[in-house]
Amino acid sequence: MKIVILILSLITFAFALQAQPKKIYLANDDHTDFMWTGDEETYKKAFSEMLDYYIKLNDSTAHLPYNLQSKWNCDGSYWVYNYRETRSPEQFNKLIKQIKDGKITVPLNSMIVLLGAAPAEATLRDMYYAGSLKRKYGLDLSLVLNMEDQVLPLGLSSLWAGSGAKYSWKGVCACATKVTGLDRHKHQMYWYKGLDDQKVLMKWYSVNPSMITNRKEYRYNLGTYLEAAHQANAVLDCKALMNDPVYPYNIAAAFGKGGDDLKTLTPNFPKIAREKTDSAYQVIVSNEIDFFNDFEKQYGASLPTETISYGSTEWGNSFASLAEVSAAVKRAVEKLRTAEALYTLVALKDKTFATDLAAQKEKAWLACGMYFEHDWTADGPHITRKQRADWQKKTATTFISYVDTLYNRSVKRLGQLIAKPKSATESFYVFNPLNWTRTDYSDYPYSGPTAIRVIDKTEAKEIPFQVITKKGKSYLRILASNIPSVGYKVFDIQKNINPTVFPTNLVVTDSTIENRFYKLKFTAQGVITSLVDKSTNRECVKAIDKLYINDLGSGVGNEGEKIRIENKGSVSATLVASTYKPIKHTTKLTLFNNSDRIELENYITQNLDAKPVTYSFSLNLEKPDTWHEEAGAILHVKSKTKGGNYADTASRFDWLAMNHFADMSDAGNGMFLSNRDAYFMKVGKSSNTKLDDSTPQLNILAAGQIDHALGMINQDGDSYFEHFFALKPHTGRFKSSEAMRFSLEHQNPLIAQTVRGGSGYDGKQFSLFSFSDPDAVIWALKPAEEGIDKGVVMRVWNVADKNKSVTISGNNLIEKGFSTTHIETDDQKIPLEKGKLNTVLGHNRLHTFRLFF
């Protein structure tokens, strides 16, 4: 009898399942193509008008069943910021209530931004305004978007999940693209998982082939960024999808209405949901989150995962069409690391410091993301390329000016807090923003007498120095030894009639330069034709297509001014080459007496046309492997089938992201290449559809329009471009921690500033934090967004492939510690041991902590 009852129960359950209607979620939005259909003020006006319209419409349908209630989906947090600025507090509070009630969805991103190629910290700061909304109003913001651009980076999954995101959907344009295979995605729904095993639930439908071949059709929009442009057809598309073997799910969704339109005002979604709902299909007006919640509950446990990069960006290649402005933004993101570390030391002693910059800071975080807004193609019908370029420059200035202001104030104020005896002569401190002890050069602004000696006050000894000139200003360059982790040392300048002569191993001629580590040959066109590593007596350069190292295309050409020695002293020596070939540029090559870093400074001083300009680095390697930092991940440049991190299809391979570094190495040797300014590199002879993983050459994109007619014209008239690199040969295979530390040291120099004397910090040296493991890298250190009273926020990246136990010690005992998201929400208390933070850092993972002293 029990068996009969069980069988009947199973039959009843099966019929119940069969009787349940399939679900179709339709989401209304207005895809923001900022500065495309109208100018900035036009868009800001449209954002507020649309929110007014949908707040009212949502209220008018609130009495209906859930599936028929109107809902609206912003595609960026900037909508909320703009509404706050243009409407009354009462109206803004009503918007916040609708967000809380699930009637309006706001993602974490500011706009639709191309953050795969941007620095990782820019991706996080882009979400900071949304983080402030979460904290202030208790909002649950779990969606994040990367839309229209045809590719998808790998590192974003980790940055998003670490910031509290749970869900994302991607719809491509299938236009202005060289990407193929958009109609053949292996998975339509999957867990988008990073190298650190953090993940978000991703909806990325394949594009129907007819959408690619006949764009005028209003069917088959799934997979694009306007899947629900025609709601009735979207229902048909979803039904067809759910009857396709590639999609074994009874829940489907079509998101996106506005496309390129300036405004979307329609009451049609509830109407279609009413008309198309029947016994077989329930149509639901969606806030997008409801679809993901429903889908995850039913299918989340059985979904496939993807840990793949489809390329950093396609349209973002146009960053290089305004190359110096883009480089300035990249430099400012890096400078922020030092500015905020200094700010932290100051704020711990002066809690009111920089509180007047709160509004400027909020605008800076939005600008940091919005600079990378996705319409970099600049080929729209309403906004000229000049208008677009002007907006990019304005946005860059908003961010850069905040960083510069914070840095300048902080570096000066710290000098006022460091003790100085009244009897002391001129003193200065040297600050290290990184979390390991460093010995490196530091440049102190100085115009005094040269008959001096410089004393390390901690070790009470004289140190090597020389006077140099940079960009018309005089500096005292010193060898600063053992500068502590996130801390400083103090140095005195004293008169000395008979200056000490320090020994040096630097040897310089008009075409060669060497130290105890290397010997290099340098041409009049700024090209390194030979680099011998003395530790192995190995030549590191091997010409490919007649191109060498730091080669703009001249090869062994020797046209130009005679190479000159800019400076040579006990710390460093610099050679300078200036030429018009193949373009007008100056290159400075610097070696150091006590450092194995090779520094290159390139200054292009002419306007550039659309043709891409690249620096080639041709290396003497056999069967090399290449690694590089994409935003939030360190990737192996091989296809997935060959054991790498790149997809085999539906990718853009010609220009890969190059954030802090790239490394090319074979079984025995390799080369670290630190990159301060550029965004992209080409590996070997890669094309948009083929990844060349065997040619030992890297081509760093200096400037240009990569895809014909896309981006700014002739660099918007700019005629000055900086590209700084650093090289270091190494033995053995790639080591991620060594590559990252090398590049961070190059791009975050030791900072020197005058000690003016005060109370607060020791007059010899100080270290705020120390770490027990070299694979743990401080990525950001700052006062909490709401001020130092809310703690010190520390972001740490474990760049190793395995979990690491690490102890973080403070100069003072840590009283409380919390783990938090990268946008400083959702704190969880973590245990301390005798004032120290002992924790396990996940492999390849960024962690963010909130600490109190």
Q: What is the CATH number of the domain that holds 781?
A: 2.60.40.2220
E strands, 28-129, in order: 72-73, 104-105
Same-domain status, 113 and 191: yes
Tens-digit pLDDT profile for residues 740-795: 999 999 999 999 999 999 899 999 999 999 999 988 999 999 999 999 999 999 99
- Is residue 450 included in any domain, yes or no? yes
- pLDDT above 70 covers a percentage of the chain that reads 97
Q: What is the CATH number of the domain that holds 623?
A: 2.70.98.30
Across 564-577, average pLDDT: 96
Domain C-terminal end among 754, 785, 807? 754
Structural contact between residues 748 and 333, judged by C-beta atoms closer than 8 angstroms: no
Q: What is the CATH number of the domain that holds 492?
A: 2.60.40
Residue 220 — pLDDT band, cuts 50, 70, 90?
confident
Same-domain status, 618 and 586: yes
- Is residue 368 included in any domain, yes or no? no
Structural contact between residues 27 and 147, judged by C-beta atoms closer than 8 angstroms: no
Same-domain status, 142 and 48: yes
Tens-digit pLDDT profile for residues 36-69: 999 999 999 999 999 999 999 999 999 999 999 9
Residue 6 — pLDDT band, cuts 50, 70, 90?
very low
- Is residue 401 included in any domain, yes or no? no
- Is residue 680 included in any domain, yes or no? yes
- Is residue 6 included in any domain, yes or no? no
Q: Which residues pair with 646 in a beta bridge?
A: 309, 639
Domain C-terminal end among 698, 727, 754? 754
**Among the listed ranges 45-49, 426-430, 785-789, 828-832, which one has the minimum average pLDDT value?**
828-832
Q: Which residues pair with 838 in a beta bridge?
A: 807
Calpha distance 844→841 (Å, rounded)? 9
Same-domain status, 779 and 674: no
Domain C-terminal end among 695, 726, 754? 754
Residue 217 — pLDDT band, cuts 50, 70, 90?
low
Same-domain status, 701 and 724: yes
Same-domain status, 783 and 732: no
Total domains present in the chain: 4
Q: Rounded to 5 degrees, what are φ and ψ at 76? A: -170, 150
Same-domain status, 544 and 488: no
Q: In sequence order, what are the residues at sequence separation of 6 or more whose Cβ sits closer than 8 angstroms to the Cβ of residue 358?
A: none
Structural contact between residues 154 and 115, judged by C-beta atoms closer than 8 angstroms: no
**Farthest-apart Cα atoms in the chain, separation:** 110
Structural contact between residues 88 and 98, judged by C-beta atoms closer than 8 angstroms: no
E strands, 350-472, in order: 427-432, 438-445, 452-456, 461-463, 465-470
pLDDT for the residue numbered 216:
58
Rounded to the nearest 10 degrees, the angle between the axes of helix 89-100 and helix 78-86 is: 150
Same-domain status, 642 and 787: no
Tens-digit pLDDT profile for residues 578-619: 999 999 999 999 999 999 999 999 999 999 999 999 999 999
Q: How far is CA 446 from CA 440, 450, 456, 476, 477, in A?
A: 18, 10, 17, 6, 9
Same-domain status, 120 and 246: yes
Residue 11 — pLDDT band, cuts 50, 70, 90?
very low
Query: In one letter, which amino acid is 275?
Result: E
Verdict on whether the full-model pTM lies above 0.85: yes
Q: Which class for 829: exposed (0-12), middle (13-18), buried (19 or more C-beta within 10 A)? A: exposed
- Is residue 331 included in any domain, yes or no? no
Question: What residues make up the domain containing 828?
Answer: 768-853
SS (H, E, C) 269-326: HHHHHHHHCCCCEEEEEECCHHHHHHHHHHHHHHCCEECCECCCCCHHHHHHHHHHHH
pLDDT for the residue numbered 214:
64
Q: What is the CATH number of the domain that holds 210?
A: 3.20.110.10
Calpha distance 692→639 (Å, rounded)? 10
- Is residue 482 included in any domain, yes or no? yes
- pLDDT mean across residues, the chain: 94
- Is residue 326 included in any domain, yes or no? no
Calpha distance 541→528 (Å, rounded)? 8
Calpha distance 368→760 (Å, rounded)? 33
Contacts 24+ apart (CB under 8 A), 447-452: 447/474, 448/493, 449/495, 450/499, 451/495, 451/496, 451/497, 451/499, 452/493, 452/494, 452/495, 452/496, 452/499
Same-domain status, 469 and 587: no
Same-domain status, 719 and 822: no
Same-domain status, 495 and 521: no
pLDDT for the residue numbered 343:
98
Structural contact between residues 96 and 137, judged by C-beta atoms closer than 8 angstroms: yes
Across 208-235, average pLDDT: 82
Tens-digit pLDDT profile for residues 72-105: 999 999 999 999 999 999 999 999 999 999 999 9
